[in-house]
Structure 1
Amino acid sequence: MPARRPVRTALAVAAVALLSATAAACGSAGGLQDAGPVRTAVSPAKLWPDLRPASSPAYPYDVATRETVEGVTVPGDDIRRVDPVDVVEAEIAAHPDDYGSKGAYHATVDRVKECGAGGDQARCPLLKPYYRDLTGDGRPDLTFGFRLYPTNQTAVRVYTVERHRLVQVLADNDAIIGVELAGRALIERSPADISGYEYRTTWEWDPGQRAMVFSRDEYLHTGDGRTGRKPSPSASASPSASVR
């Protein structure tokens, strides 16, 4: 999702500036201080009420992916009997612009060939598959990933079975340091461009679109590393920040 990067960079700068301002306002660490009278709550002020609506989205973003996998059968409608290697090979065949000799992930093809019997398993890019019901139909769905070369990104995929066919309901490629399943949501953790922070992107099952839909993008302070701006000598650290 290349469009996510420029937006994330802007969010990172804004969040660090907010942290620094908040920390400076805390005063000396080690004791409580009287902040004075409590302010009366004020409702939000709506700015520019006559502003014309935008004619296009703020930036392009594929919020959902749904694609029937061609050439892969599901014996007995049991997704556990589907070979992930067959699924990746089907994706490569279906997207020659991405995996061809001039594609962004062209070096992935040779490594996938090592995943079969007699191949060099150390070069196989596939990650361990996981099975959990993400769609709410009472049957397990398939979540797995594989490394992309030469970009060194990770491809995260989710598949379900509908009408005896294998259907891809999530496809995301990114620099990823961790993935979690929570309920019917999948959460990706990615490194931020500022030390001590990370992005967390959440995808949730949407019954209307029949796909895992992008629902949340957070920018969080992980507690290790330094912020991009040096705090004042009396500043106290803020534990976390979240944007969007």
Structure 2
Amino acid sequence: MPAARRAPRTTRAVTTVTTVTAVALLLAVASGCGDAGDLVGAGSTPTAISPDRLWPQLTPASSPAFEIGEVDSEVVAGVSVPGDDIRTVDPVALVRAEIREDPGSYANAGYTETARRMADCGKPGAAGKRCPVLRPYYRDLTGDGREDLTLGFRQLPGHVTAVRVYTVEKHRLVRVMHWEDAVSGVELAGRSVIIRSPSEVAGYEYRLQWTWDPQQKSMLLTHDEMLRTGSRALGDAPSPVPGPSASSR
């Protein structure tokens, strides 16, 4: 009989302990979920501000006021591409072909030193180092699965570097981009050529980007920015600030 009277008390005690344990577990689980990544408020969201259109009474322009060479695609005359392999093209021959096409700049005025030093290309030793043609780079910039040629050469006298991009189209060598400037760095990224140049403003540089456009079949100037200088990894770009366009430089 004593055991029979103790049985109900034991059952109630076990029930109470079980209930307390379950509540504790639920609290622990709830607390754990909060630590595991519950949504946390990030503060107030800035109000979106739409742009203000200035001078709405102006008639929209229908043609550009300045020509900056938006589309540059030109077959290179006198230079063949054996087997459609652009690596078979001599970069020195390309520069010589350009000089022949523009004798006014390279033979009579402007970059006479470039034309003169072309005779040093291919020579051994110190003489060969005077060649203005820089190392060529090969990468598929047009997305057709074949390599394209990015070429640079110094325009002398002065501190100007010419940058060119060539591709092969219908068994012909085609120049699809050209630019000359005081260059502090050139990068290839995806389908783009990025050129950095010093600015007249201390602590800033120009960053121009040409990107392949399959409709125009040319490298188009897609970005023209003025950025703060400083050490940064390839592809990193500081926040741009307003700067002059290519047509103003």
TM superposition shift of 1:222: 1.4
Cα deviation 1:151-183 (Å, max 9, x = unaligned): 320000100111111111111111101000000
- Give 1:242 deviation, angstroms: 2.9
Counterparts of 1:174-213 in structure 2, within 5 Å, are 174-213=181-220
Residue 139 (structure 1) aligned with residue 138 (structure 2)? no
Q: Which moved more, 1:199-208 or 1:67-76?
A: 67-76
CA 1:167–1:48: 2 relative to 1, 3 Å: same
- Partner Cα distance (2:79, 2:96) in 1: 10
Higher relative contact order (CA 8 A, sep 6+): 1
From 41, 54, 59, the equivalent of 2:61 is 54
- For 2:117, the equivalent position in structure 1 comes to 111
Work out the percentage of aligned pairs sharing the same amino acid: 56
Match of 1:24 in 2: none
2:97 to 90, 96, 104: 90
Q: 1:33 — aligned with what? A: none
Contact conserved, 1:203 with 1:213, CA < 8 A, in 2?
yes
TM-score of the two chains, using structure 2 as the length reference: 0.71
The structural deviation recorded for 1:61 is 1.0
How far apart are the structure 1 equivalents of 2:225 and 2:218? Answer: 21
Q: Aligned letter for 2:242?
A: V
1:240 and 1:43 map into 2 onto residues whose CA distance is 20
Read off the aligned partner of 1:210 and give its amino acid letter. K
Higher helix share: 2
Give the corresponding residue for 1:218. Answer: 225
Rounded to whole Å, the distance in 2 between the matches of 1:113 and 1:209 is 36
Whole-angstrom CA distance in 2 between matches of 1:197 and 1:182 = 22
- List aligned pairs for 1:18-97, cutoff 5 A: 40-54=47-61, 56-97=63-104
TM-score by length of 1: 0.73
What SS does the aligned partner of 1:142 have? strand
Provide the C-alpha distance between the structure 2 equivalents of 1:55 and 1:139, rounded to a whole number of angstroms.
37
Structure 2 counterpart of 1:242, one-letter code: V
The answer for unaligned runs of 5 or more in structure 1 is 1-36, 225-238
Unaligned runs of 5+ in 2: 1-43, 232-237, 244-249
Q: In 1, distance between residues paired with 2:46 and 2:170? A: 59
Match of 2:177 in 1: 170
